[in-house]
Structure 1
Amino acid sequence: MSSNSSIITANTLTIQAENDVTYAYRILGASRGEVPLVLLQHFRGNLDNWDPALVDALAHEREVIMFDNTGVASSSGTTPDTVEKMADDAAAFLNALGLGKVDLFGFSLGGFVAQHLALTYPGLVRRLVLAGTGPKGAPGMARWSEDVVAHLVTPEAPGAEDILAVFYAPTVESQRAGGAALGRIFTRSEGRDIGVSTETKDSQYHGAVLAWGQLDWDAVHTLTSIRQPTLILQGDNDLMIPTAASYLMAGLLPDARIRIFPNASHGSIFQYAPEAAAETLSFLAA
């Protein structure tokens, strides 16, 4: 579909789906006959909150599609307050593009959506990458810590210090890597996506995130029904989504592999962008 090679220069496109939502999206890389890789973004994230070092490396070998889901940033509509409705809306976007089979890369809240898509639209999803995320109903997922809420939920617009406090470990090496990632994320100066609204933030956290995290062992057990090959990427001490939840997913998913990055928190895939991209591309090509 596209020959764009960098998220920094890719045009923002729009398409209207059957649910009457107009979705903002970008396409990188070029189709080489493989199914496209669709990125599902984190809490309060928009098109420009992906790290170019990760996304551009993925697009070097794969066609990559990223989008704002319903009500998020430049997309129209009202952001749903459940993961299940977010997944339905993501499916509507993919259908509007005429995509019958995709690989999914879900980061954090996007990983919740990716899991539900794999369960409810199994014919749509070929392979699954789950980064910095956890299963519905797992222990430790009921709410985020007071520190995480203070840095990422309460502020009108989280600043660099807030992102560094949650996405990166409190070490010199991790904080330095986080600063570099933030520099890359804000490289694009023209045609940036609009910010995420307070209404979207509230729907995502007070609705979808908190409901997803309520302890429910029956919900956890649904992981055994996800048959798609799955790669799990996580930091060794994620302050936002417990790292233990990634190990739980790895143990229950029928076909899963896991990669834990050292000295890393929620933003491990940005801190270790080259390694995360290489791991993902190797997995998708298997």
Structure 2
Amino acid sequence: MAEGMADVIEVEELRRTYAGGFEAVSGISFSVARGELFALLGTNGAGKTSTVELLEGLARPTAGTVRVLGHDPYTERAAVRPRTGVMLQEAGFSSELTVAETVRMWAGCTSGARPVDEALDMVGLPRRANVRVKQLSGGERRRLDLAMALLSRPEVLFLDEPTTGLDAEGRRETWELVRTLRDSGTTVLLTTHYLEEAEELADRLAILHNGRIAARGRVDEVVAAQPSHISFELPDGYLVGDLPPLAPLGINSHETAGRTVRLRTSELQRAATGLLLWAQENQVELRGLDVRSASLEEAFLHIAREQETTR
């Protein structure tokens, strides 16, 4: 696809095989549109890091193609690197330099770099400018990592676990910054272990499993593939068979543990309404009633359980 068109990241049948024949990435395809935030999720060993390294141009694919801003990020690195920002899990800064000195040094190697004060202000580090890197907390180092990634005013930003080590306030502030960047037209590819982070930020996402994409789409689309849950205690004197017919209520399956009934449904409102009307008609209380929508966490854990059973 030519530059300037909708998709700025294009991946087609991408494969990466390591020495010894282990295939970490097994023919995946996806695209990321300009100004979109795309989250790449996966359990340990799913191929997430291997994929991101190929997108960043750090290695050559075994097979398939990668295009970032219309270029191959490995063979045409000079055309891609100045227009991208990369936040690694750990950048390896010199511990003896101050924060300002570190930013200034990196800015000297960056075309059109932001002013040092602007970069530090964006990530909430202006008061730590004269502190040595070795004296920063883990969360402050992550903020410095992000400042480095933003120096070049990137069109495409790769964020690898950007909020690891941040407290709740720092995480929320980083989310707001990332949203602002996206809203201004920056394309963001995010990897994270915080599923809440993906739910909060991602326009679309993909979940990797054994080197393949197990689920993809908008967050609501991925979540909709998982059942919602209803649980409660059976009223005294009642058995499961005394409940209204479950299938007509849109309930897919049920299980019991003592007096507790757990139901799974893809039609939560219909199922909950039917149960509550039955309870009202029979003048009984559904003690411990818990009605819970499907979540991204459940979708992720479902894929993780599949991974365990296929090993």
RCO higher in structure (CA 8 A, sep ≥6): 1
| TM-score normalised by structure 2 residue count | 0.25
More helix by share: 1
Q: Which has the larger radius of gyration?
A: 2
